[in-house]
Structure 1
Amino acid sequence: MNNDLFGIPVERLQGVGPSKAEELHALGIYTVGDLIDYFPFRYEDYRVRPFHEVKDGEKITVQGAVASAPSLQRYSGKSRLLARVTVEGLILTAVWFNRAFLKDQLTIGRDITLTGKWDQRRRQLTVAESEFPDRGAGKTGTLQPVYSVGGSITQAWIRKTIDRALTQYGAMIPELLPAEIVARHRLIPRREAVLRIHRPENTHEGQEARRRMVYEELFLFQMKLQAYRAASRKQPDGVAHKVDSEDIRRFVAGLPFELTDSQKQVINEILLDMKRPYVMNRLLQGDVGAGKTVVAAVALYATVRDGNQGALMVPTEILAEQHARSLSKLFEPHGIQVGLLTGSLTERKRKDIVASLQMGLLDIIVGTHALIQEDVYFRRLGLVVTDEQHRFGVNQRSILRRKGMNPDVLTMTATPIPRTLAITVFGDLDVSTLRERPKGRKPIKTYWVKHSMMDRVLGFIRREKEAGRQTFFICPLIEESEKLDVQNAIDLHMQLRQALPELRIGLLHGRMTPAEKEEAMRAFAAAETDVLVSTTVIEVGVDVPNATLMIVMDADRFGLSQLHQLRGRVGRGEHQSYCILIADPKSENGQERMKAMTDTDDGFEISRRDLELRGPGEFFGTKQSGMPEFRLANLLNDFAVLEQARDDAAELAAKDDFWSSASYAPLRDHLLREARLQGEPLD
């Protein structure tokens, strides 16, 4: 028999034919090992509780006896069955929907166990499941695992199949964690934990099993990061920049504004990294408008002064053009040449840019994904900066890195998370954080209003116009959708032109040509339009200091971090700015988001709440960031475990005998099989 559970096809199990195997494959289950590691996400509690503990609306399991003959009502092809049941000396009404076949079984005096939702006012239990003890043991008194299922796979089938796998192959479940770690944290053995997590006898057992498996899951994730980090630090293979501190000081002194203490500290961290002969992998995170771009500019200046080229990759053409303009202005006095490479350039202009880059006539190139096309070459690439990194796929970022000989990498994001969490999640990156706002920036006042208050919103737009200011007006979709009842940009643009005939109203959306988008944005930036109606194409980076009012239509349709990004498009000048969220949210999350936005404008607090609302997988952009969807761990609740797992993994990865000792072979084999020691540092 194969001793590796991950080498045994799931089809080997009784009851798993070709069609069921295909459906299991869709769930990511190919082997018996995959099936055994397919953990439940919650449990159905069939344990009987004292009736006096039950609260209104709760799902409960109670034991009693049938106290009256049942009555059956039929209507529209459906049925409703009612019977009185005595529970702990009290009489309650039990109701079954579409269970007419039970009528003959509900004989007076017969013992019965009921599971369902309790209605305190009516003293009524809507029954989901019922069992008769005289038929033998059923689910009563147990915790039943609930798994993610799909297709024709039911809870009953997957429970039975996993149970069969555990009975047949449970003895082969390997221990992956080193003995010293199991002892240090008093963890139960892996085999016992896996059995208990699928078949908990009681809550304490389930908690102990979960504690063990959450630690293991986070530890294995951290081992990938820490092992790579340890391996990559063994040989100096990066660009060791020669940084002239006096030259950097002169450049900073010539900037048109004063740096914050936070910016100065982060610049020191980055320049120290760039001096080392190892590849820099640093994440720069900061709130919207915290001044990340100028920090990147100092790093780009340093790489050019050392005879290298720098690349800045951004997600949109509008943002690329804006960065190219602002960097040209900063670098022109120093004789540094900045180029722009986007998909909308003419063929001739593109060829000129690509040739200049290859010959070294351009020092810095700013661009979109056009930078990673095959025919783009650098003479000597020393630093890669990616802005809003979560918008680029893993492959796009690594292709740009490979265009140089291990250039330093600075990754920027305006979706900040608490620094300790960032260090732990992005364990292969060093993390720098900007916490301060640039001097003179005023907090943005945020209000949540209903659609019925639109007249007052229009009055606000007029008042800002009279003061010489401009307005962004954002809506979620480009054109009408039958599925979503949301305002769209094209209709809204027409309505605003009718409601505000004295104002100049612009329009910007994703289906316009690049030239049309550029013209709409240019006109707004030049104050040739008073209001810009737009979809979220302006979410990232566009800078119009004279815009002081951000209005978001159907704000409950947007994510919390996205709303915060949109709000950050105003408040970039000296004048007081405002954000108005128009929403009549029906959903609980919609109300939570509106409340969070009006409570705080701190991006770190916003991100914490967003993480709570959306969960870690969606928040971190699982598909792009390379971060797995954790099966059991929750990054907020299990944060202390995450930090402990990181420290343990770093300590183990630094040991020489980790790579050779037989005692670590099961862990090494598992990591290699899961491809956890392969790939690139950011990916």
Structure 2
Amino acid sequence: MNQTAREWICLLKDLEKPVKYLKGMGEKRSGLYEKLGITTVYDLLYHFPRYYLDFTCPVQISQAPLGENCILRGRVVKKIPAARIRRDLTVYKAVFTDDSADITIIIYNSGYAFDKLQLDCEYFLVGKVTGNMLRREINSPQIFPADMCDLVQPVYHLTEGVSQLLLRQSMHEALKAFDRFIYEPLPKWVMQKYKLCSLEYALKNIHFPQDMHACEIASERLIFDELLTLQLGMLMMKERSRLSSGCRMKDVSIDDFYGSLPFTLTNGQLGAVNDCIKDMCGESPMNRLVQGDVGSGKTAVAAGAAYFAFKNGCQTALMAPTEILASQHYETMTEFLSPLGVKTALLTGSMTAKQKKLVKEGIESGEYSVVVGTHALVQKSTVFNKLGLVITDEQHRFGVEQRALLAEKGEDPHKLVMSATPIPRTLALMIYGDLDISVLKELPKGRQPVSTYAVTGKLRERTYNFIKQHLDEGRQGYIVCPMIDESDSDLRDVKSYAKKLSEGVFKDYSVGLLHGKMLPAAKEKVMEEFKEHKIDLLVSTTVIEVGIDVPNATIMVIENADRFGLSQLHQLRGRVGRGQFKSDCVLITDNPTDEVKQRLKILSSSSDGFRISEEDLKLRGPGDFFGSRQHGLPKLKIADMSRNTDVLRSAGAAARDILAADRKLEKRENACLKELVNMLFEKNLSDN
């Protein structure tokens, strides 16, 4: 390649032209493609197949497993006259053989497809084989001539109005456009070192491979590109944050903070506080993640960092994702810091205009040294006097840009992120690639282990009696119900379930209800009543996943546990066992498949959140690891960080080598990579 850097970027920009200009596309069709997230030729090229139909290895009819989709090759030996079952249903049948066995093709209401079948002609059939060992059938199969050219065919995500055939035709046109504007983003030395094919080969063979081996070679290159671009972006963000600190602090003692605490910090907590202090005294702003399992004591670390900032004359802002969690952090920070003369304020969206005005005046004047709140902290009307430390909790719920908005309230303030979701280190390095990491693995003294049991719905009544045992001992409990999409039907189910329990098996106990669609004031009221033991049993959705700390709660039952991810179940379980009493968690499922049993067994046998998160990642992949994608990580099109760990490591090593030689990607050989990094992160910010 002899293009200049400018030419490379121009070629890339040409592929960013609207897809409607491709041959055979037009305005109307491009509108359909937009529903698939395809607006440019580049988007189309990177709309990768979900899987492939590999006609090179058809299954013999005699060996075809029943109930599974198969590819068969054979010939039509008999066509049976059409049978009109009713006015709107005509059934066509044909006998198909490969000499190992026969199978009956059944086609509904399509005389055209039936007429196209020629006796003694060979075809491929794609579909689910049903029937029994003596009489096999295949209903409404896809039918392909056996002499077709493409023996490996891509299958894409579609939308109404776009067929596989149409999308394949469009892809051929996009590849022709790529041939005109061909570019190679990787430096030659990277391709040679990691034995990667060219981008031209990769794009052609990911869409229309000659065989599955060619597809694997193409896939490895595209996965490498995606993970390299992502890690380059993360490392460059980290580098930018290292430039200079607008609030460099002096190393002052906080022994009075340690002495005032009603407990002794664990070694992990002390280490994390010391990490923060060391960072805040450095020339660059702190960018640190404190990652710990449920109940590992992250808030105490945050309080220590905030007190250090206070002793250096700086304010701290702590942003939480929900008002419930913000209120709890406010109470905890006040408890830890008020004896030391630190004034703390709470700022949330549900406060009255007058309350907000008074708090914001106190923030701007410097009266409050620590401010805890929700998104209200990033509003333009919230002005800080001297913001030196920004703390965000449950970072993956915010996204990169919201953390940046809060940081803009000060002059390059120090940033501390707390995550109660134990994340496998490989994934943590990707999501928090611009941060240093401190891990809390020890649990503070006094935390009780939680015994966990997985049962089927047949034991529901016995489980209710188990709850009563806890309540009769003066303890409290939770019953958690899933809400998949917070639809009205889900909400009715939660409400009716709570009503049924309060009027039935738990009529002699006080039963409360908590769900996400309640007004903040109503939620607060229920939580306060639960904390004050005015409520014995709280029926709740996952709104309790973070933010409720009731040491007297010792029993949790999670209904339909198969609908939750393992990490979320572990988070929920962490709401009990927070006091001195032995605690239990019961997982109920009415769907005891082998997969569900395997997942729930992992949770029942381990209390190590990091091990559980590793298993969760293997089972579900990073796309579903956090539920809805709110963690600020650019969406990956082809890479899977739970399966492509080797490529992840190679791409990470390449990213570090590239930036070591060219910190800002200014060399000609890196110009295209720089443009790809910008495209990836700009698109991510606009999507969030």
TM score, norm. by length of structure 1: 0.90
Instruction: Check the 8 A contact 1:476/1:486 in 2, yes or no.
Output: no
Give the Å deviation of 1:207.
0.5
Q: Secondary structure at the match of 1:257?
A: coil
Give the Å deviation of 1:457.
2.6
Report the CA distance shift for 1:148/1:461 in structure 2 as closer, same or farther (over 3 A).
same
Counterpart code for 1:328: T
Instruction: Check the 8 A contact 1:486/1:554 in 2, yes or no.
Output: no
From 187, 194, 218, the counterpart of 1:185? 194
Counterpart code for 1:47: T
Instruction: Check the 8 A contact 2:513/2:539 in 1, yes or no.
Output: yes
Instruction: Check the 8 A contact 1:319/1:542 in 2, yes or no.
Output: yes
Equivalent residues in 2 for 1:127-166, closer than 5 Å:
128-133=141-146, 137-138=147-148, 142-166=151-175
Counterpart code for 1:130: I
In structure 2, distance between residues paired with 1:572 and 1:657: 47
In the other structure, the counterpart of 1:124 is: 136
In the other structure, the counterpart of 1:422 is: 428
In the other structure, the counterpart of 2:247 is: 239
Give the Å deviation of 1:180.
0.8
Give the Å deviation of 1:14.
1.6
In structure 2, distance between residues paired with 1:517 and 1:91: 65
In structure 2, distance between residues paired with 1:217 and 1:405: 33
In structure 2, distance between residues paired with 1:226 and 1:479: 35
In the other structure, the counterpart of 2:40 is: 31
Counterpart code for 1:264: L
From 78, 83, 86, the counterpart of 1:73? 83
**Structure 2 spans left out of the alignment, 5+ residues:** 1-6
In structure 2, distance between residues paired with 1:375 and 1:549: 43
In the other structure, the counterpart of 2:239 is: 230
Give the Å deviation of 1:383.
0.7
In structure 2, distance between residues paired with 1:535 and 1:622: 16
Report the CA distance shift for 1:16/1:326 in structure 2 as closer, same or farther (over 3 A).
same
CA deviation profile, 1:390-441 (whole Å, cap 9, x unmatched): 2335444322211111111111111111123312342111122212222232
In structure 1, distance between residues paired with 2:638 and 2:155: 13
Task: State whether structure 2 residue 558 is matched by structure 1 residue 552.
Answer: yes
Counterpart code for 1:122: L
Give the Å deviation of 1:293.
0.8
Equivalent residues in 2 for 1:317-336, closer than 5 Å:
317-336=323-342
Task: State whether structure 2 residue 102 is matched by structure 1 residue 92.
Answer: yes
Task: State whether structure 2 residue 126 is matched by structure 1 residue 115.
Answer: yes
In structure 2, distance between residues paired with 1:477 and 1:7: 40
Of residues 213-222 and 267-276 in structure 1, the stretch that sits farther from structure 2 once superposed is 267-276
Q: Secondary structure at the match of 2:630?
A: helix
Q: Secondary structure at the match of 2:254?
A: helix
Q: Secondary structure at the match of 2:388?
A: strand
In structure 2, distance between residues paired with 1:314 and 1:103: 62
Instruction: Check the 8 A contact 1:197/1:210 in 2, yes or no.
Output: yes
Report the CA distance shift for 1:184/1:231 in structure 2 as closer, same or farther (over 3 A).
same
Give the Å deviation of 1:146.
1.2
In the other structure, the counterpart of 1:467 is: 473
Of residues 416-425 and 178-187 in structure 1, the stretch that sits farther from structure 2 once superposed is 416-425
In the other structure, the counterpart of 2:533 is: 527
Instruction: Check the 8 A contact 2:556/2:586 in 1, yes or no.
Output: yes
Q: Secondary structure at the match of 1:404?
A: coil
In the other structure, the counterpart of 2:56 is: 47
Q: Secondary structure at the match of 1:70?
A: strand
Report the CA distance shift for 1:237/1:622 in structure 2 as closer, same or farther (over 3 A).
farther
CA deviation profile, 1:559-612 (whole Å, cap 9, x unmatched): 433322221110101211111223313777755554443233322233233334
In structure 1, distance between residues paired with 2:336 and 2:515: 30
Instruction: Check the 8 A contact 1:303/1:383 in 2, yes or no.
Output: yes
Give the Å deviation of 1:49.
3.4
Task: State whether structure 2 residue 452 is matched by structure 1 residue 446.
Answer: yes
Counterpart code for 1:464: H
Instruction: Check the 8 A contact 2:484/2:490 in 1, yes or no.
Output: no
Counterpart code for 1:412: M
Report the CA distance shift for 1:626/1:66 in structure 2 as closer, same or farther (over 3 A).
same
In structure 1, distance between residues paired with 2:236 and 2:485: 49
Of residues 168-177 and 104-113 in structure 1, the stretch that sits farther from structure 2 once superposed is 104-113
CA deviation profile, 1:54-91 (whole Å, cap 9, x unmatched): 5444433333344445354332333444444442x323
Query: What is the number of residues matched between the two proteins?
Result: 673
Q: Secondary structure at the match of 1:149?
A: coil
Report the CA distance shift for 1:628/1:480 in structure 2 as closer, same or farther (over 3 A).
closer
In structure 2, distance between residues paired with 1:481 and 1:633: 32
In structure 2, distance between residues paired with 1:622 and 1:485: 19
Task: State whether structure 2 residue 308 is matched by structure 1 residue 302.
Answer: yes
In the other structure, the counterpart of 2:410 is: 404
Counterpart code for 1:306: N
Identity %: 38
In structure 2, distance between residues paired with 1:126 and 1:390: 46
Counterpart code for 1:155: Q
Of residues 406-415 and 366-375 in structure 1, the stretch that sits farther from structure 2 once superposed is 366-375
